[in-house]
Amino acid sequence: MRYAIVTETYPPEVNGVALTVQGLENGLRKRGHDVDVVRPRQQHDGDPAPHEVLVRSAALPRYPGLRFGLPAPLLLARQWQQQRPDAIYVATEGPLGWSAMRTARRLGIPVASGLHTRFDQYLPDYGAAWLQGTALRWMRRFHNQAEATLVPTRELQQFLQENGFNRARLLARAVDGSQFDPNKRDAALRAGWGVQDDGLVVIYVGRIAAEKNLGLAISAFRRIQQQRPDARFVWVGDGPMRETLAQQHPDFIFCGVQRGQALARHFASGDLFLFASRSETFGNVTLEAMASGVATVAFNYGAAREHLQNGYSGIAVDNDETFVAAATRLANDDEIRATLGANASRAMQRLHPDQVVAEFDALLSELANRRRCHAVAAA
């Protein structure tokens, strides 16, 4: 079959949506399908690959280096009339995603959408809580145009169903255990952070931005530091708050964006992963930390609710006080920390990306076959 994937974000951009989309794309190709990717033109792009359709883009405010796609209905219509996809996956709700949705519907091509980001939950962190209702209605209007809206957790599926989203379908997430592995722990990397063998590395991996609730993670680390002065807080990633945090906390270690095996080494070289975000649609980094054998403290929703067994493969909490308390307790108990990390790594071995791609393929194929049956019946 021929599929098309439309996305506002794509590697080398590093975020959960970009990497998830690329994983689905590569997985479909391995299964023998033709896959076209429609994405914004990035700053250092040359000529597009044969399977790529690059559209005009603009800089994303407050996120240097990230761009979003501008509407391209004529370009998309021409492309899809020349090489008509059997089904289209629209991964993002930006201007490009909207124009792709409308063009596909006009051409009679079945569409699945992906809800990767709860934009309505981000707004309070940027002083616009009053727009949450409007954002949710905007998201509902977009996704209800699709024949299926793919979500990563049963929790989110239920929320959407209760709020007027018509066709929410579960598509689980997985983690590549061949990449994220406790055996990637790197003593030389830890030494570069100024940590001895028995030292404690608290690690954060992700976007360094207001919506990640980073102040709580910092508060937890400062509490840990009162009891373990040798502890180090290592930050992997980039974002609009990085420079400010580096100035305010000169003892923090900022490693920037890491990819591939370098990211795996950074994860596995940590001892305690603190994920204080309360605005994630899923949170891929939770699975990556668990697969890397790093004890994790996270709020009880998204990936943590779906995959973290509280007290066995990590700690899932419900409020700020228990987050700080759990982080402090694990920081001071090497044995429990090691046990949680080992249990988490074993649990993640049961999640395999190939199974996720197979389910994704089956869903797109279902939409394509349903549309063909309707066309035959109408004829």
Q: What are 310-323's pLDDT values in tens digits?
A: 999 999 999 999 99
Rounded percentage of the chain residues whose pLDDT exceeds 90: 69
* Cα 66 from Cα 8, distance rounded (Å): 9
Q: Give residue 45's pLDDT.
A: 80
Residue 6: strand pairing partners: 38, 90
pLDDT band at 216 (very low <50, low <70, confident <90, very high): very high
The answer on pLDDT for 63 being more than 70 is: no
> What are the boundaries of each domain within the chain?
2-174+352-378, 182-348
Q: Give residue 111's pLDDT.
A: 97
- Cβ atoms 152, 287 nearer than 8 A: no
- Those residues whose C-beta lies under 8 Å from the C-beta of residue 314, and which sit 6 or more positions away, are 290, 295, 296, 297, 298, 304, 308, 340, 344
**Quick check: do 2-174+352-378 and 182-348 share a fold?**
yes
Query: pTM here?
Result: 0.82
| Angstrom distances, CA of residue 17 to CA of 87, 91, 274, 298, 313 | 20, 8, 21, 20, 25
Q: What are 93-134's pLDDT values in tens digits?
A: 989 999 999 999 999 999 999 987 777 766 666 677 777 778
* Cα 270 from Cα 147, distance rounded (Å): 42
Hey, what CATH class is 2-174+352-378 in? alpha beta
- Cβ atoms 3, 28 nearer than 8 A: yes
Q: Give residue 312's pLDDT.
A: 96
Q: Give the DSSP per-residue string, 207-221.
A: --SGGG-HHHHHHHH
Correct CATH for 182-348 of 1.10.443.10, 3.40.50.2000, 3.90.180.10, 3.40.50.970:
3.40.50.2000
**Closest alpha carbon to 98 in 121, 78, 69, 57:** 69
* Cα 41 from Cα 68, distance rounded (Å): 9
